[in-house]
Amino acid sequence: MVPKRNKRALQALLSLAGLLILGVHSAAAEHARLQVAVAEPDIEAIVRAVGGDQVDTFSLFKGCILRKDLAVEPSVRERLLKADAVVWTGFFNESAAIHESIKPLDQKGRESRPQWIDVSRDVQRVNVPISTCFGYVEPSFMHGDPFFWLNPRNGIVIARNVAEGLGNMRPERREYFLANAQAFDAALRKDIERWRAELRPLSGLRVFTAQCGWNNFSQIGGPTFASCKQSPGVLPAPDELVRQVKALNVSVVIVDPNTPPEYGRAFREGLKAKVIEVPSSIESLTGAKSYSALFDNFIQSLQEAAKS
């Protein structure tokens, strides 16, 4: 039998040990990385730069977000259910697909929901009128082109929105996030000035791109990006599109790795323009990790096409 004095001492030691364990768990939870789901890989690169060692990130979608069957990638659905935050572009297709994937939360219950961070606040958009003669505008495009991150100036705004969103979630690290966003801002501004200089010799180039969104890039200068007057994300049949592009008098046609191959064949067979494949996301750019890498590759591809 344990003497009462020893028993009380043992209970005190066990209580102290329990408090220490709880303290360790509490500190670990406080300093655990935020699990952040991000709609697109290019915006994910910005989240990584701003979040630093406070975040673990993963992207939710691959390919074009305009497709009607857009769905969260199966490989990250379980991670989405446990995410602390969802960073999205304010595009309806994304929110519908994300909510479809987190429906199990409504059935199983959860103490907290992921924090939604909309990075489209205050960005500049290219106006893309998607209307019929009756004046109807598709709700998905009512604010303009959804690929606003292809204007690198918007990368600065996105970084600030991410810093504010993460700072609201983790107030004690707010200054850290804001400092990272400011460093990202300074580096990107230098890149933009360099890109503008590299684009000046290409100002006379007329380009058609099968991938939506590159009109946003034209906001910093360079080529003129021509487009067909039809709903973004909906390509006419290859032969019809070749006929339309002929009338645009372009010298370069850009296809994306996600563009169906029959369009690339039709362009090469039916047009005199130079046809090149250029990724519109670092997702398809081997070895690319940074947001700026997307534009470095794009400008280099345009320079090479202009020389040939």
* Rg for the chain, CA atoms, rounded: 25
Q: Write out pLDDT tens, residues 59-103.
A: 999 988 888 889 999 999 999 999 999 999 999 889 999 999 888
d(CA 47, CA 164): 11
**CB contact at 8 A, 34 and 85:** yes
d(CA 273, CA 72): 36
The amino acid at 137: V
Q: How confident is the model at residue 149 (pLDDT cuts 50, 70, 90)?
A: very high
The full set of domain ranges for the chain reads 30-119+149-195, 197-307
Other beta carbons within 10 Å of 114: 21
**CB contact at 8 A, 97 and 172:** no
Count Cα neighbours of 15 within 13 Å in the Cβ-side half-sphere: 6
Q: What is the pLDDT of residue 140?
A: 63
d(CA 68, CA 76): 20
Q: Which of 5-19, 119-133, 134-148, 199-213 has the highest mean pLDDT?
A: 199-213
The dihedrals phi and psi of 275, each to the nearest 5 degrees, come to -110, 120
pLDDT tops 50 at residue 118: yes
Q: What is the pLDDT of residue 210?
A: 85
Could you tell me the maximum CA-CA distance found in the chain, to the nearest angstrom? 98
Q: Regarding the domain delimited by 30-119+149-195, which CATH topology (the fold level of the hierarchy) does it fall under?
A: Rossmann fold (3.40.50)
Same CATH topology for 30-119+149-195 and 197-307?
yes
**CB contact at 8 A, 285 and 297:** yes
Q: Does domain 197-307 have CATH number 3.90.550.10?
A: no
> Rounded to two decimals, what is the model's pTM?
0.85
- Both tokens of residue 25? 């768990």
Whose tokens are 């690319």? That residue is 288
